[in-house]
Amino acid sequence: MPRRLPAFGSRVTVGALAIVVLCLTACAPAPEPSPTPESTASETASPEPSPTQEGPVLHPDGTAEDNLPLFEAVTVKVWAESGSSSGRAYIDALVAAGFAKDDMQVTQDLTTVGNAVESMQFSVRWGDDACLVGQVGPSTGEPVTMVMDQLAEGRCLVGETRPIDW
């Protein structure tokens, strides 16, 4: 014959179970309200991104200083993604950001014996008197970017640079 629990024990068990269920229900996160037909599009649409969310942008009519934040962001991104001392990676990324390839210079990627350079420079001539200049490489540590005065004949970098022929 099956054994029956006393009525008091059953009530305690059912009562304890009810308390546990209530606690779990009260502790559960509230469901997200679903939009009602009266909701307007502005309430449910995501907000317009602000300029700070998009990051720096090219200012074609601005100064070199106005465009340094974008130049720096591109340089830091290429360095972070690849740690590259490949001049082409920086030139291509700057072109993709809107800088004019015809205004760029870049130093060699490799030494005369074929080793990767310890430091590489690249630049964008800006207007008639300024240059955006970047430097990366193992000897540099973190990328360096700055605005500098143009050199003679509209050049930005000292010494021999390689052709940007791609």
The 10s digit of each residue's pLDDT in 7-37 is 545 444 444 444 444 344 444 444 444 444 4
- How many angstroms separate the CA atoms of 49 and 56, rounded? 13
pLDDT exceeds 80 at position 125: yes
Residue type, 83: G
pLDDT at residue 54, as a whole number: 78
Full DSSP string of 68-102? HHHHHHHHHHHHHHH----HHHHHHHHHHTT--GG
pLDDT at residue 45, as a whole number: 41
pLDDT > 70: percent of the chain: 68
The phi and psi torsions of 135 (rounded to 5 degrees) equal: -140, 130
pLDDT at residue 21, as a whole number: 40
pLDDT at residue 151, as a whole number: 95
What mean pLDDT comes out for the span 104-128? 95
Read off the pTM: 0.67
pLDDT exceeds 60 at position 162: yes
pLDDT exceeds 90 at position 73: yes
pLDDT at residue 12, as a whole number: 45
pLDDT exceeds 70 at position 65: yes
Q: How confident is the model at residue 119 (pLDDT cuts 50, 70, 90)?
A: very high
The answer for residues whose C-beta is within 8 angstroms of residue 13's C-beta and 6 or more apart is 5
In the chain, beta strands by DSSP E: 104-106, 120-126, 130-136, 144-149
| Average predicted confidence (pLDDT) for the chain | 79
pLDDT of 74-115, one tens digit each?
999 999 998 777 999 999 999 999 999 999 999 999 999 999
